[in-house]
A and B are shown apart, each in its own frame.
Chain A
Amino acid sequence: MSTAATSESRIIYNDGVARRFLAASVLWGVVGMLVGAICALQLAHHGANVAPYLSYGRLRPLHTNAVIFAFVGNMIFAGIYYSTQRLLKTRVASDRLASVHFWGWQAIIVAAAVTLPLGMTQGKEYAELEWPIDLAITLVWVVFAINFFWTLAIRREKHLYVAIWFYIATIVTVAVLHIVNSLAIPVFALKSYSVFGGAQDALVQWWYGHNAVAFFLTTPVLGIMYYYLPKAADRPVYSYRLSIIHFWALIFVYIWAGPHHLLYTALPDWAQTLGMIFSVMLWAPSWGGMLNGLLTLRGAWDKVRVDPVLKFFVAGVTFYGMATFEGPLLSIKSVNGLAHYTDWIVAHVHAGALGWNGFMAAGMFYWMVPRLYGTKLHSRALADLHFWIGTIGILLYCIAMWVSGVTQGLMLRAEDPNGGLLYPNFVEAVLAVRTMYWVRLAGGSMYLLGMIVMGYNLWKTARAGKAVDGEAEVAPVTVHPAVPWSRIALSPQVALIVVVCALLGALAVADAITSVTVVFFAAAVALFGGLALHLSRDASTPSWHRLLEGRPLLFTSFAIIAVLVGGVAEIVPSVVIGAGQTATETGQKPYTALELEGRDVYVREGCYTCHSQMIRPMVHEALRYGEASKMDESRYDHPFQWGSKRTGPDLARVGGKYPNLWHYRHLLDPRATSPGSNMPSYVFLATSTVDFGRTADKLHAMSRVGVPYTDAQIAGAADDARRQAGATARDLLAAGVDVRADSEIVALVAYLQRLGVAAPAAPAGMPVAKTEVR
C-alpha cells in the first residue's frame, strides 16, 4: 500500500463521471432496445426491412453492440467509478483520465452506430467493429485501467473489498479477450480480415464471445451487486467467505466454457468436452454468488415489498440464478443438440440481458440518482410501474422464445415413418413460430416502455435536485509492517494450488484409467492439503487471503493467471495444430477472387445472423443439408461463418444445390422461391457494384493471414474476378435475367455456389449447377 495517511482528512469524490456514465447508459439503453424491437418486428414481418442500411442483418449487430457495450458498458463504468472511490476511500486518481474514458467510450459508440448500419463489420458476433474502432477500444480501455489501478495505488483503505476483485478481473480479462479476438490484418481503412481462420477462429471467437458475457456482463455486475445490494439492504453481504470462493471459482471456471457454443460442430471433440464439463461446473460458483446476494437480504425481506431498488435487485439476482441454471443445462450435449441454432438460445440470452443486467442497472440507477442529485426519487409509483411492465415484458419475451425454440428444434429433427424428414421445407418451421415472434415483439416493447419510464423518472429526479459530489471523512490509516510479497506468492497455499493444477494438467496425456487415479490423487491432495493448512494456521495472524487483499498487484497477477489457464489450454493447441497443416494435406483451395468479393458481401449483410455454415453430425441434419461439415472445409474462412442461429437454413453445402437463377430470384424476393420466408429482400445488390480495383488488396491481405494465394493470383485478381463474373452474368442472361456482371449479386451468387464445393476446376471457372428452378 503506497498511501499511509496519518491524519483525518476530507475527501470529495468525483461523482460527475458517474453521473455522465449513468445518463449515457439510460440513453443508449433506450436506443439499443429500440433497435432490438425493430429487429423483432423485422423477424415477425419482413416488410419492416425498409432500407439496406436498416436491414436485419445490419441492425442486429447494432442492437447487440448497443446493449452490451453502450447500455451495460456505461452502466458498469458508472457503478465502478461511484463504488470504487468509496470502497478505497479516495477520489479517482485522475479526473482528466476519467473524462477521456467517458468521451472516448461515447465516441466509440457513435462510431459503431454509424459503421454497423453501413455494413462495416468484421463478421464476428459481439466483435463486429472494424479495426480502427478496435484500436480505439483498446486505448480507451487502457486509460480506464490506468486510472483504476492508479486509484488503487493511492487508496486509503488497506483491504480490497470483494467488489474491487471483480472489477480487477473484469479489466484485465476484457483487455486480453478483446486484443486476442480482434487480431486482424487491415485491407484498407474500414476493412480487415481476422488472423484466425475456420475452427481456430471459431474457438477464439467463442472464447471471446462467451467470456464477453462472463467478464463484461457478469463479473462487473457481480461487483456492483456486492456493493449496492448491501447498501440498499443496509446490511453486510451474507458471507464474505462465500464471496472468496465465488470469485476465484467463477473466474477460473468461466474462461473454459466458451466451446459450449460449438458443440457438435467441426471443433475437435476434446475442446467441446472441456467446454461442456466446465459449463456444468459453473453451476456451483454461479449459484453460490446468487445465494450470497439473495441471503444478504436475510431479515430485510419486508423492505423488498416497498423499496423499488430492492425489488429490482432481487429480481435481477433471481434472473441471474435462472440464467446460470439454464446456461449449463444448454451446454449438456444432448440438450444442446435440440436447442442450438434455435430461439431457445435467444430466450436464454435475454433472460440474462434483460433480467440480470437490465434489472441490476435499474436498481443501481434508482439507488444512485437520488444520491447523486441530493434529493429523493421523483416517483416510487413510476419505479414500481417500471418493475412490473419490465417483469411481464421479460416473461412474455422468454416464454415466447422458449416455445419457439423448442418448436423449431423438434420440427427440424422430426422424421417420418420412412426415415425421411417430416418437415422437409425449412419454412414450415419459420411459419410455425411466427406468432411467437409477435409475442416476443410485445414483450420487448413492454420492456422498452419500462426503460423510457425509468428515464423519465430519473430525469425528473435529477431536475428536482442539483448535482452533488459525495464527501467523506477518512480516518487515519493504521500502518502495519509490510508483508513481503514473497511470503504471499511463495506460501504453502500457492504451492498446494500449483501441485493440484500440475496433477490435473497431467490428464492431458493420461489414458482413461490413469486419469481416474490422477484425479483421485489430486482431489486427495487438495482436500487433505487444505485441511492441513487450515489446522496449522495461527489464528492470531492474518489469513493468507487477507494478506492478498492488501496487495493489489499480486492479487491482479493471480487473477490473470486464473483466467489465462483455461484460455491457453484450449486455444494454444488448436492454433499450433492448425499452423502445422498445409494446403496440400487438406486438399482445400482458397476462394476465387470473385467468390471472396461475394463472401465480403455475405459478411457485410450479416447473413451469419440468420444462416449457419455448419452441418452437425446428426441424421436429420444430414437428410436436410448433406454430409456433416468437416473442420478442414472452413480453413480459409477469415473470419469463420459457422453462425449461431438458424432463422434460415444452413448454407454449408448450398453450393450447386440450385442454379444461379434460383439464387438471383431468391435474393431479390425470397418469397418468390420460398413462400413464407421472413428473409429481407436484397434488390439493391443487383445495382450496387463491386470495386474490382480493391480485389488484389483483399487477396494480398488474405495471403498475409495464411491463405495460399500465389503472386500471380493476386496480380490477376481483378481480371479473374471479372472473367468469372462475366460467365455468371451470361448464365443468368441465358435464363432471361439481364444483370450487370460487376454487380454485388453476381459476386454473392458465386460465393454461395462455392459453399460445400471443395474446389473449382480453375479460378476463372463457374461452379454452376444445371438443375431446374424449384
Chain B
Amino acid sequence: MFHDFFARSPVLAFPLFSLLLFGAIFTAAVVYVARRGPALEARGMLPLEDEMEDEAGHE
C-alpha cells in the first residue's frame, strides 16, 4: 500500500519529508532549550534586580 501510494506521484513524498524536517528541527530546539546553562539563565534575572522601589506596589 505504501508503495502504491507513492507511485501515484513523486511529490507525495514532500509532506512526509516536511514532517521529518520539522521533527528534526523541533527535536534540536527542544534539546537546546532543555540544556540549561547557568550563565545563560542568569541573564534571565535582569528584570528582578533593577530597582529599589519595587516592593512598594505589591499588595
Chain A contacts to B: CB under 8 angstroms: 13, 83, 86-87, 89, 157, 159, 161-163, 226-227, 230-231, 234-237, 239-243, 245, 284, 288, 367-371, 374-377, 380, 468, 470-473, 512-513, 516, 519-520, 523, 526-527, 530, 542-543, 546, 549
Contacts of B14 in A (CB 8 A): 512, 516
Given A240-B41, A527-B24, do A231 and B53 touch, yes or no (CB 8 Å)?
Answer: no
Question: A231 touching B46 by the CB < 8 A rule?
Answer: no
14 A-B Cβ contacts within 8 A? A87-B46, A161-B43, A235-B48, A239-B36, A239-B41, A239-B44, A240-B41, A240-B43, A370-B58, A470-B51, A470-B52, A473-B52, A543-B40, A546-B39
Question: B52 touching A530 by the CB < 8 A rule?
Answer: no
Given A241-B36, A242-B33, do A371 and B57 touch, yes or no (CB 8 Å)?
Answer: yes
Question: B53 touching A87 by the CB < 8 A rule?
Answer: no
Q: Which of B26, B32, B53 contacts A241 (CB 8 A)?
A: B32
Question: B33 touching A241 by the CB < 8 A rule?
Answer: yes
Contacts of A235 in B (CB 8 A): 48
Question: A519 touching B46 by the CB < 8 A rule?
Answer: no
Contacts of B1 in A (CB 8 A): none
Closest to B9 in A: A512
Determine the distance from Cα of A473 to Cα of B43 in the docked complex, in whole angstroms.
19
Is chain A's interface secondary structure helix, strand, loop, or mixed overall?
A: helix
Interface residues of B in 6-41 (CB under 8 A from A): 10-11, 13-14, 17, 21, 24-26, 28-29, 32-33, 35-37, 39-41
Question: B17 touching A519 by the CB < 8 A rule?
Answer: yes
A-B pair count, CB < 8 Å, reads 112
Given A371-B56, A520-B17, do A87 and B47 touch, yes or no (CB 8 Å)?
Answer: yes
User: Nearest Cβ in chain A — how far from B11, in angstroms?
Assistant: 6
Question: A231 touching B48 by the CB < 8 A rule?
Answer: yes
Q: Which of B33, B36, B45, B59 contacts A245 (CB 8 A)?
A: B33
Contacts of B24 in A (CB 8 A): 523, 527
Question: A376 touching B57 by the CB < 8 A rule?
Answer: yes
* Given A83-B47, A241-B33: 6 more A-B contacts, CB < 8 Å: A241-B36, A242-B33, A370-B56, A527-B28, A543-B40, A546-B43
Number of B residues, CB within 8 Å of A: 34
Q: Which of B13, B21, B29, B47 contacts A523 (CB 8 A)?
A: B21
User: Nearest Cβ in chain B — how far from A512, in angstroms?
Assistant: 6
Closest to B46 in A: A161
Q: Which of A83, A236, A370, A377 contacts B41 (CB 8 A)?
A: A236
Determine the distance from Cα of A87 to Cα of B59 in the docked complex, in whole angstroms.
23
Which of A237, A367, A370, A520 has its CB near the most chain B CB atoms (within 10 A)? Answer: A237
Which of B11, B25, B40, B44 has its CB near the most chain A CB atoms (within 10 A)? Answer: B44
Question: A231 touching B25 by the CB < 8 A rule?
Answer: no
Determine the distance from Cα of A68 to Cα of B40 in the docked complex, in whole angstroms.
35
Q: Does B50 contact A (CB under 8 A)?
A: yes
Q: Does B4 contact A (CB under 8 A)?
A: no
Contacts of B13 in A (CB 8 A): 516
Contacts of A234 in B (CB 8 A): 48
Closest to A469 in B: B53
Question: A240 touching B56 by the CB < 8 A rule?
Answer: no
User: Nearest Cβ in chain B — how far from A1, in angstroms?
Assistant: 15
Contacts of B36 in A (CB 8 A): 239, 241
Given A245-B29, A472-B50, do A374 and B56 touch, yes or no (CB 8 Å)?
Answer: yes
Determine the distance from Cα of A240 to Cα of B17 in the docked complex, in whole angstroms.
31
Q: Which of B10, B57, B58 contacts A512 (CB 8 A)?
A: B10
Contacts of A376 in B (CB 8 A): 57, 59
Determine the distance from Cα of A520 to Cα of B40 in the docked complex, in whole angstroms.
31
Contacts of B53 in A (CB 8 A): 371, 374, 468, 470-471
Contacts of B39 in A (CB 8 A): 542, 546
Contacts of A240 in B (CB 8 A): 40-41, 43-44
Question: B44 touching A237 by the CB < 8 A rule?
Answer: yes
Contacts of A470 in B (CB 8 A): 51-53
Question: B47 touching A239 by the CB < 8 A rule?
Answer: no
Question: A89 touching B26 by the CB < 8 A rule?
Answer: no
Closest to B27 in A: A527
User: Nearest Cβ in chain B — how far from A96, in angstroms?
Assistant: 24
Determine the distance from Cα of A371 to Cα of B55 in the docked complex, in whole angstroms.
8
Question: A161 touching B40 by the CB < 8 A rule?
Answer: no
User: Nearest Cβ in chain B — how far from A163, in angstroms?
Assistant: 7
Which of A86, A530, A543 has its CB near the most chain B CB atoms (within 10 A)? Answer: A86
Q: Which of B48, B51, B52 contacts A230 (CB 8 A)?
A: B48
Q: Which of B44, B45, B51, B58 contacts A472 (CB 8 A)?
A: B51
* A-B interface, 9 closest residue pairs, ranked by CB to CB distance from nearest: A370-B57, A371-B57, A236-B44, A86-B50, A240-B44, A161-B46, A472-B51, A237-B44, A242-B33
User: Nearest Cβ in chain A — how far from B21, in angstroms?
Assistant: 5
Contacts of B32 in A (CB 8 A): 241, 245
Determine the distance from Cα of A230 to Cα of B21 in the docked complex, in whole angstroms.
34
Q: Which of B25, B47, B59 contacts A227 (CB 8 A)?
A: B47
Given A374-B56, A376-B57, A530-B28, do A87 and B50 touch, yes or no (CB 8 Å)?
Answer: yes
Determine the distance from Cα of A369 to Cα of B24 in the docked complex, in whole angstroms.
46
